[in-house]
Amino acid sequence: MKKESYLYKKLENNKVQCSTCSHRCFILTEKYGICGVRKNIDGKLFVLNYGKAISESIDPIEKKPLFHFLPGTHTLSIATVGCNLRCGNCQNWQISQLVKDDKKQLEIGQNLLPSEIISHAIENKCPSISYTYTEPTIFLEYAIDTMKLAKKNGIKNIWVTNGFMSIETLKLINPYLDAVNVDLKSFDDEFYKTICSARLAPVLKNLKWIKKNSIHLEVITLIIPGFSDNEKMLEKIAKFIFKELGSETPWHISAFLGEISYKMQDVVDTPYEIIHKAYNIGKQIGLKYVYAGNVTGDLMENTYCPKCNKLVIERIGYFVKRYDINGKCGKCGEGLDLVI
């Protein structure tokens, strides 16, 4: 299903400029944007994946990952095909990347209207909807139409994003957005250019905007051996979160798995030692909540009180057991920066 894009400018000679993400593509008639799902048709920009869900599932909210937003609940997850980046390390590349080379992929998925998504969330008692798996920026129109209905029905909205959206997109979704997990892939612009076909600066700018506008924010970094495992770079990320986003902002550290990646299958999986080192860097910088994913049998996914260090939320896989009292430590009464 096609729908006219909400954010673009008409230019001379039937040319258009998309302003949905930070690429701000100039698109000639009958051509596509970098995302592969927006097309200039006779001088108007249309999004071609509207109402076409490539994935709909119910997930533990910790899978996003969000550890401080409605902990222990489930979220209805929605995605379409496409992405505005081309990350070599992508682990959902079958649905995020193929449309760029094969436009027939725009036809796959199920027809699912925003109203039907809301019904599914209500039927399954999900207090939130997550726009995830690919990049919600590229299905902005589909997402925001759903978000408006969700808000009317008392359902929270979550974006799991690469953070490369435009400021116009952020302003458009702001009234309806409750929580965001942003993938801060590196603190090196060259990494963003060569691995992701993007830039670092817009992501940092958007992170600060999200925090300034009081949207619940958590940050994740995938550590790729030889590419984003440099200690000094990890320190820069931790310091940026501490200084610009606040010590209460959770930082998730995730291990890379080469065999399921898009174009980096020859890169080794992330060793446990690097994950543990990054965890310690975050704690030493002063971040209150640092979490390590993809590490079996460790305790680095638990939440501890930042004041007295008491275990307040225990996580084993997606099993969650809470010991807090209304978002505060049961021992010393310290606030735990939870949205509950």
Q: What are the tens digits of pLDDT across the range 110-131?
A: 999 999 999 999 999 999 999 9
pTM for the predicted model, two decimal places? 0.96
CA dihedral 190, 196, 199, 205 (to 10 degrees): -120
222 is written with which tokens? 């995938």
What domains does the chain contain, in order, with CATH numbers? Answer: 3-47 (no CATH), 52-301 (3.20.20.70), 302-340 (no CATH)
What is the separation of C-alpha 108 from the centre of its chain, rounded to a whole number of angstroms?
Answer: 23
The strand pair at 251-255 and 290-292 is best described as parallel
Neighbours of 88 (CB within 10 A): 17
Name the token pair of 293: 């994913």
- Cβ count within 10 A of residue 76: 25
SS3 51: coil
Query: Which tens digits make up the pLDDT trace of 243-292?
Result: 999 999 999 999 998 777 888 888 999 998 999 999 999 999 999 999 99
Do residues 165 and 206 lie in contact, with contact meaning Cβ atoms separated by under 8 Å?
yes
The strand pair at 44-47 and 38-41 is best described as antiparallel
Q: Could you list the pLDDT tens digit for every one of the 340 residues in the chain? A: 899 999 999 999 999 999 999 999 999 999 999 999 999 999 999 999 999 999 999 999 999 999 999 999 999 999 999 999 999 888 888 899 888 888 888 888 899 999 999 999 999 999 999 999 999 999 999 999 999 999 999 999 999 999 999 999 999 999 999 999 999 999 999 999 999 999 999 999 999 999 999 999 999 999 999 999 999 999 999 999 999 999 999 999 999 987 778 888 889 999 989 999 999 999 999 999 999 987 665 668 999 999 999 999 999 888 999 999 999 999 999 999 999 9
